[in-house]
A and B are shown apart, each in its own frame.
Chain A
Amino acid sequence: MSLITEHLVVLNLDSPDRHAATRVLAQALADEGRVTDLDGFLADVRKREEQMPTGLPGGIGIPHARSAYVTEPSLVFGRAPDGIDWGAEDGPATLIFLIAAPEGGGEDHLKILANLARRLMRTEFRNSLMNAPDATTVVDVVTREVVNP
């Protein structure tokens, strides 16, 4: 199954803070049957966040976790036009990637993180996600640049 689908894209994320925003993105995973216990999964994400804040310079948030409540490697994309504070010093995040990996699964999420880490440095990549008109375009961009580069 695909890492990201149209159902895993939230284009108008307007949550008051990053925990609420993460919950919205994780809910998309639960709705698709990719997460079996929403609160359990969110606790795992928060644990990782406590180790190291996942807000990055340039308006990016990459919450992620390996969790027993994840049934398959997944990537949820959220776009927050007004920005949500994600702990980065240079300002709020507008592009958020929630990476979910099953416990004891393969190395898929490492590849996603590795590819994301490289792509996020590029303004074109960020702009194409900023300006994507619909979920299908987002899935195309992410699949081309991050999942199967």
Chain B
Amino acid sequence: MIVTLTPNPSVDRTVSITDLQRGEVQRATASRIDPGGKGVNISRALTAHHARTLAVLPAGGPQGHLLAELLAEAGIEVAIVPIADSIRANLALVEPDGTTTKINEPGPLLSGSELAALLAGAVATLAQQPSWLVGSGSLPPGVDDDLYAGLVRRCRDAGVKVAIDASGPALRHAVAAGPDLIKPNLEELEELVDRSLDTLADVLAASVEVLSHHGVATVVVSLGRYGALLVTASLCAFAVAPVSSPLSTVGAGDALLAGYLYATGNGSTAVDALCTGVAWGAAAVSLPGSRMPTPADVAGIQVSVTSEPDLTLRLKN
């Protein structure tokens, strides 16, 4: 089983319009609602692959009930920590050419006891010895930046592997606690090492730095259309899969991490897991909105992998 913790989940409403005009009343041509949040996405991808997962998340307010229903609908096993405030309702306005305008609410204010209950909810799952526990996504406003760091320490004490997918101070604190895996994208890794990373060589150097300074065992950097780089103390691998008709990059990084964890949980080597992750990520890009790929979506995808990538590859235009 893979446990996900999503401290700041959301209900994502995607509204299609003909073109966005400020200050005007416009008719929506279509709308859909999806459960949102990075850890929630990982659990959705795993569920779509019939893998056991448990999503730990706070929920409150009318949007919280809607989220709980959406997750029940998708057949996702959840441990909901009830909170008084309402969770986020995020809005994406999509124009016909794919231009997307997103409006994300900050998230609920959690009381001290609600936050403690959330962390306790995640920690309680450790007794079941999950193959991984993943902390993923932003923290609600007012929550201390060391939430994930505390989670990492609890997992290590329990002998459970822990992965963190976060950004900014939350990621920096988590890294200092030495998680088994982090999955930054290029911007997040740049922020972590506090410098611009223009080539694959720069990304490799930054990843090695994170490994050696902080005791992170595995770094998987998602690089969008360029692919993903895996770095551990003993190996480096770079994998990419072509996507012929990209529809939405929303949630692609979450699918990638889900695929990686799924594969390692089934006994794959790190390099094979990277390929699985890249395939899931590419499949997600070919699906609309934050839809997560099923085995059928992943089946046709060809991943090429190398341990000696071209390090001069430029990652910015």
Chain B residues numbered 60-92 whose CB sits less than 8 Å from any CB in chain A: 60-66, 68-70, 72-73, 80, 82, 84, 89
* Cross-chain contact A52 with B62 (CB below 8 angstroms): no
Determine whether A4 belongs to the interface, using a CB cutoff of 8 Å to chain B.
no
Determine whether A70 belongs to the interface, using a CB cutoff of 8 Å to chain B.
no
Determine whether B250 belongs to the interface, using a CB cutoff of 8 Å to chain A.
no
Please, what's the 1-or-0 string for A29-58, where 1 marks a CB less than 8 Å from any CB in chain B?
A: 000000000000000000010011110110
B70: A residues at CB distance < 8 A: 110
B65: A residues at CB distance < 8 A: 52, 54, 62, 64, 113, 117
Determine whether A116 belongs to the interface, using a CB cutoff of 8 Å to chain B.
yes
* Cross-chain contact B66 with A110 (CB below 8 angstroms): yes
* Cross-chain contact A110 with B73 (CB below 8 angstroms): yes
Closest partner residue, chain A, to B83 (CB atom): A52
Known: A52-B65, A64-B65, A66-B72. A114 touches B33 (CB 8 A): yes
Between A57, A116, A117, A118, the greatest number of chain B beta carbons within 10 A of the residue's beta carbon is seen for: A117
Determine whether A109 belongs to the interface, using a CB cutoff of 8 Å to chain B.
yes
**What total of chain A residues lie within 8 Å of the partner, measured CB to CB?**
23
* Cross-chain contact A51 with B84 (CB below 8 angstroms): no
Determine whether B59 belongs to the interface, using a CB cutoff of 8 Å to chain A.
yes
**In the complex, what distance in Å separates the CA atom of A121 from the CA atom of B89?**
12
**In the complex, what distance in Å separates the CA atom of A52 from the CA atom of B62?**
11
* Cross-chain contact A52 with B84 (CB below 8 angstroms): no
* Cross-chain contact A114 with B72 (CB below 8 angstroms): no
What does DSSP make chain B's interface, helix, strand, loop or mixed? helix
Closest partner residue, chain B, to A62 (CB atom): B65
Residue from A52, A64, A114, A116 within 8 A of B64 (CB atoms)? A52
**In the complex, what distance in Å separates the CA atom of A56 from the CA atom of B80?**
16
* Cross-chain contact B61 with A56 (CB below 8 angstroms): yes
Closest chain A CB from B40 CB (angstroms):
15
* Cross-chain contact B62 with A53 (CB below 8 angstroms): no
Determine whether A132 belongs to the interface, using a CB cutoff of 8 Å to chain B.
no
Determine whether A120 belongs to the interface, using a CB cutoff of 8 Å to chain B.
yes
Known: A52-B68, A110-B70. A117 touches B62 (CB 8 A): yes
Closest chain B CB from A93 CB (angstroms):
13
Closest chain B CB from A1 CB (angstroms):
22
* Cross-chain contact B62 with A113 (CB below 8 angstroms): yes
**In the complex, what distance in Å separates the CA atom of A54 from the CA atom of B80?**
13
Residues of B within 8 A of A (CB): 11, 13, 33, 59-66, 68-70, 72-73, 80, 82, 84, 89
Residues of A within 8 A of B (CB): 48, 51-54, 56-57, 60, 62, 64, 66, 88-89, 107, 109-110, 113-114, 116-118, 120-121
- Starting from the known contacts A116-B62, A121-B62, 11 additional A-B residue pairs (CB-CB under 8 Å) come to A52-B64, A53-B82, A57-B84, A62-B65, A64-B69, A66-B69, A88-B84, A109-B69, A114-B11, A114-B13, A117-B62
- 9 sample A-B contacts, Cβ–Cβ < 8 Å, listed by A number: A51-B68, A52-B64, A64-B65, A107-B73, A113-B66, A114-B33, A117-B61, A117-B63, A121-B62
What are the 4 A-B residue pairs with the smallest beta carbon separation, nearest first? Answer: A117-B62, A113-B66, A52-B82, A117-B63
